[in-house]
Amino acid sequence: MLRVVVGALVRDGRVLLGHRSPSKRANPDVWDLPGGVVEVGESEMEALTRELHEELGVRIAAESTAHLCRVVVGPADGPALLSAWLVTRWQGTPANLAPDEHLDIGWCGLTELPPLAHRLVRESLVRAARPATPHD
């Protein structure tokens, strides 16, 4: 089964979202958390660290992460195991370094959070991020 990780960078009660490209096969043209596929031999944390650096140019502090949830997503003939993580500290300023993945990125308040691609991820994020500490 394909494994996918996404990360919720949270700062001052706001979460960073990416507007997925309309050409993406999974969840096109929606605002969602950045991330990607776990490569063979990688742990979820290694994949999360790599994906957020490739897509956003940030270096996450592994000790500032907390697991939010895991959920099986996608069609029955090609499901994926999605693992979502809360990230409260990182180095660098997030930028859209993967325009083929995201049309844009932007900060969204937890109270204005759109329906993400997966309801359980959204619910877990809102519940966990309320007490999250701000970015360094």
| CB atoms inside a 10 Å sphere around CB 101 | 20
**Count of positions (residues) in the chain:** 136
Q: Name the fold adopted by 2-129.
A: Nucleoside Triphosphate Pyrophosphohydrolase (3.90.79)
Please provide residue 112's backbone torsions phi and psi, each rounded to the nearest 5 degrees. -105, 10
Buried b (16+ CB within 10 A) or exposed e, 104-122: ebeeeebeebeebbbeebb
One digit per residue, pLDDT tens: the chain, 136 residues? 999 999 999 999 899 999 988 888 778 888 999 999 999 999 999 999 999 999 999 999 889 999 999 999 887 778 999 999 999 999 999 999 999 889 999 999 988 898 888 899 999 999 987 754 455 5
Domain map (residue ranges) of the chain: 2-129
Structure tokens at 25: 């096969």
pTM: 0.90
